[in-house]
Amino acid sequence: MIELINITKIYDLNKNDQVVALKDINLSINEGELIILKGSSGSGKSTILSLIAALNKPTSGEVTVDTKKISKLPDNFASMYRRDNIGFIFQKYNLIADISVKENILLPLIPLNPDTGELDEKLNIVMEKFKISHKKETLVKNLSGGEQQRVAIARANVNNPKIIIADEPTANLDEKLSLHFIEILRELKKAGKTIVVATHDPLFFDLDFVDREIQVSNGTI
Amino acid sequence: MILIPEVLTILILNVIFTLFSVIAFFLSLKIFLKWDINSNSTLQYTLEKQSYLTATIIKYIFIIKVPLFLFFIFTLDKISNILTGAMCGAGVVDATDYGNYLFVLKIINLYIFAYWLALHSEDMKHENQPYTKAKFGFFIIAFFLFISEIVVEGVMFSSIDLNEIVSCCGTIYSSSTGSYISQIFAMSPTLLLSMFYGIFVLLLIFYFLKRNYAFAISNILFILISIITLITFFGTYIYELPSHHCPFCFLQSDYYYVGYLLYTLLFTGTFYGITSGFINTSDTNRMTNYKKSILFNFLYIALVSFYPLSYYIKNGVWL
């Protein structure tokens, strides 16, 4: 259960150019739900995602995940929370271009220092699931946009996180690849993941497996 | 003012430390007064960010400052080469009215800084940062001692007169002077040594009984008796001179700089012992600190005991 309670987020607080990204919002997301946050650019969607992922802290209010107050976590504990609970799919994938697909996918596991057998097992599961096994040793810079996104999804799932967060995941994809991504989301939802997607792509609207669509505008929902 | 490169280094570092510690002091004051971990207000989130910055500033000042104590001793030794009459750091310490105060202040601060670092380290191990208020409150007190040390240090270096002849350690640590040092020399070596080894046995007993405060207090006693026995007894075997009681000369190359090793072992061992008694940490951490304390203290004992034993084996007599 994710809860955002009276969240306000102001960037560059007390400066002349301060930006109010979120204004006293409240939001509850149940375990296993798939939520679409829709709204125009700058409406506050990405800020909500970054707060759930503990990449950012609110200016006031509280974010809790399974009763854990994640907005109060010190940096080192926030990193552990992300490592153990969050799979983040970024708009521009945020992959490392000069290393292989395999190395990119395994990055989140490195701090856990698992043995080689465990690494291979987890790698093979996600590579097969997201159909990227044939590109295992290929450098990421040599992949197409769709392949890069599958690598990003595989990386987000390699830790088997319970929460998947996707920020404008289809912004760089054509319609066919976007529909493929939506199918992947359906599978993840079936697998019981809690999923929060921020998008303004109309392909995501009115999907049968989406639990809720939430309109975000000018920092309010 | 004496301006050799080592003194200049210390003075420049002191200016930098002062600047950053003043910033850290005002932020610490704000955090100490307004910290409320349960609050979700803008102020609390701002304080949480600032606490990270402030703790980082303090941490790096203290991390540099703790080993700088050895550099300070090294500097005293360097100054003794150009100060007429001084044979080692002791003469430099005694050359002004401030030297002894500075030295005592530095030793106290050494433990205070190290304790703050231990407190901070423990605080960062917990999600709810239980020691945040305490560690910034503690820094507020430490800040005044820290600034006092910097001021006294500056005054001491500026007061050293190269044209004045100072006493050498042979005079300062002589049993014939009427100082408190001569009263220590009057004590029976057998009694002092019994106390020295006896307190270490007490440390072992409290370690096995897991008595935190008793272990910490025994460590405080251990450092005091260690310094006294080092001056009155063990030092004489390092020098192989029964009349020489200087706590500085064995920091010189003639004695293979063994003093640096001795003081490092003693300060490290007693530090772990003292902090493990006064910080409420997990049993695992406490036991690790206990073991470190016992290990370093034992190495200190083994090293100082080596000198009289080897002297006796070589010569068949005690000094």
Contacts of A5 in chain B (CB under 8 A): 40
Token duo for residue B289: 């600190």
- B200 CA to centre of own chain: 19
Please report, in angstroms and rounded to a whole number, the separation of the first and last CA atoms in chain B.
41
Nearest-angstrom CA–CA distance, B173 and B100? 13
- Whether residue B168 lies inside any domain: the answer is no
Give me the number of domains chain A comprises: 1
Q: Is the ipTM of this complex over 0.85?
A: no
Handedness of CA B294, B296, B299, B304 (dihedral sign): negative
Instruction: Name the minimum distance, in Å, from the CA of A62 to any CA of chain B.
Output: 6
Residues B231 and B190 in one domain: yes
What's the pLDDT at B181? 64
Higher pLDDT, B310 or B82: B310
Query: Who among B49, B124, B128 is closest to A76 (CB)?
Result: B124
Residues B194 and B139 in one domain: no
pLDDT band at B179 (very low <50, low <70, confident <90, very high): low
Q: Where in chain A does DSSP place strands (E)?
A: 2-11, 19-29, 34-38, 60-65, 68-69, 86-89, 163-167, 194-199, 212-215
- The whole-number average pLDDT for the span B124-135 is 91
Q: Tell me whether residues B127 and A74 touch, CB distance under 8 A.
A: yes
Q: Tell me whether residues B41 and A6 touch, CB distance under 8 A.
A: no
Residues B228 and B194 in one domain: yes
What residues of chain B have any CB closer than 8 angstroms to a CB in chain A?
37, 40-42, 45-46, 48-49, 52, 124, 127-129
- Tell me whether A72 touches chain B (CB under 8 Å): yes
Contact B248, B88 (CB under 8 A): yes
Token duo for residue B200: 């270490």
DSSP B83: S
Backbone phi and psi for residue A25, each to the nearest 5 degrees, phi listed first? -95, 155
- Whether residue B282 lies inside any domain: the answer is yes
Pairing of strands A34-38, A212-215: parallel
- Percent over 90 (pLDDT), chain B: 58
Q: Which long-range contacts (CB under 8 A, 24 or more apart) does B37-41 make?
A: B37/A72, B37/B128, B37/B129, B37/B132, B40/A5, B40/A6, B40/A58, B40/A60, B40/A61, B40/A62, B40/A71, B40/A72, B41/A60
pLDDT tens for each residue of B88-117: 888 888 888 898 899 899 999 998 998 999
Contact A196, A49 (CB under 8 A): yes
Contact A131, A163 (CB under 8 A): no
Q: Tell me whether residues A74 and B42 touch, CB distance under 8 A.
A: no
What's the pLDDT at B61? 94
Nearest-angstrom CA–CA distance, B83 and B96? 12
Q: Which site among B37, B127, B129, B135 would you substitute to test the A interface, given the most A Cβ atoms closer than 10 Å to its Cβ?
A: B127
Token duo for residue B311: 């002297």
Looking at chain B, how many residues does it have?
319
With a cut of 80, say whether residue B168 has pLDDT above it: no
Last residue of a domain, one of B108, B131, B159: B159
Residues B234 and B306 in one domain: yes
- Whether residue B103 lies inside any domain: the answer is yes
Residues B117 and B216 in one domain: no
Pairing of strands A194-199, A2-11: unpaired
Alpha helices per DSSP H over chain B: 5-34, 42-80, 89-93, 99-123, 132-159, 169-172, 180-185, 189-209, 212-229, 235-239, 258-278, 283-315
Residues B227 and B95 in one domain: no
Residues B136 and B244 in one domain: no
Residues B153 and B179 in one domain: no
Q: Tell me whether residues B41 and A76 touch, CB distance under 8 A.
A: no
- Whether residue B28 lies inside any domain: the answer is yes
Residue B119's SS3 state is helix
What's the pLDDT at A145? 84
The pTM of the full predicted model, rounded to 2 decimals, is: 0.82
Last residue of a domain, one of B159, B182, B211: B159
Contact B18, B150 (CB under 8 A): yes
Looking at chain A, how many residues does it have?
221
Burial class for B2, CB neighbours closer than 10 Å (0-12, 13-18, 19+): buried
Closest CA to A1 of A69, A59, A74: A69
Residue A152 CB partners (closer than 8 Å, separation 6+): A89, A90, A93, A94, A95
Query: Who among A5, A59, A72 is closest to B42 (CB)?
Result: A59
Closest CA to B169 of B259, B256, B108, B109: B259
Residues B227 and B260 in one domain: yes
Q: Which domain holds residue A146?
A: 2-215
- B96 CA to centre of own chain: 21
Nearest-angstrom CA–CA distance, B156 and B227? 24
Higher pLDDT, A88 or B279: A88
- Whether residue B167 lies inside any domain: the answer is no
Q: Tell me whether residues B45 and A58 touch, CB distance under 8 A.
A: yes
Contact A95, A151 (CB under 8 A): yes
- Whether residue A62 lies inside any domain: the answer is yes
- Whether residue B290 lies inside any domain: the answer is yes
- Tell me whether A75 touches chain B (CB under 8 Å): yes
Give me the number of domains chain B comprises: 2
Token duo for residue A157: 């799932």
- Whether residue A206 lies inside any domain: the answer is yes
- Whether residue A86 lies inside any domain: the answer is yes
Residues B17 and B152 in one domain: yes
- The whole-number average pLDDT for the span B76-83 is 88
- The residue in chain B having the minimum alpha-carbon distance to the alpha carbon of residue A12 is B46
- Whether residue A221 lies inside any domain: the answer is no
Query: Who among A61, A74, A77 is closest to B40 (CB)?
Result: A61
- The residue in chain A having the minimum alpha-carbon distance to the alpha carbon of residue B46 is A59
Closest CA to A59 of A96, A27, A94, A14: A14
On the CB side of A149, how many CA atoms lie within 13 Å of its CA?
A: 21
In the sheet where A163-167 sits, what is the strand order? A86-89, A163-167, A194-199, A34-38, A212-215
Handedness of CA B245, B250, B255, B258 (dihedral sign): positive
Query: Who among B40, B45, B127 is closest to A77 (CB)?
Result: B127
Residue A59 CB partners (closer than 8 Å, separation 6+): A8, A9, A10, A13, B42, B45
Residues B118 and B180 in one domain: no
> How many other C-beta atoms can be found within 10 angstroms of the C-beta atom of residue B53?
12
Token duo for residue B280: 């409420």
Contact A35, A212 (CB under 8 A): yes
What's the pLDDT at B180? 64
- Whether residue B165 lies inside any domain: the answer is no
Q: Which domain holds residue B39?
A: 5-159
Residues B97 and B243 in one domain: no
Q: Tell me whether residues A74 and B40 touch, CB distance under 8 A.
A: no
Q: The domain spanning residue A53 has which CATH number?
A: 3.40.50.300
Tens digits of pLDDT across chain A (221 residues): 899 999 999 998 888 888 999 999 999 999 999 999 998 888 899 999 999 999 999 999 999 999 899 999 988 899 889 988 999 888 888 899 999 999 999 998 888 788 888 888 889 988 988 888 888 899 999 998 888 988 998 998 898 899 999 998 888 777 887 888 888 889 889 989 999 999 988 888 888 889 999 999 999 98
Last residue of a domain, one of B159, B193, B208: B159
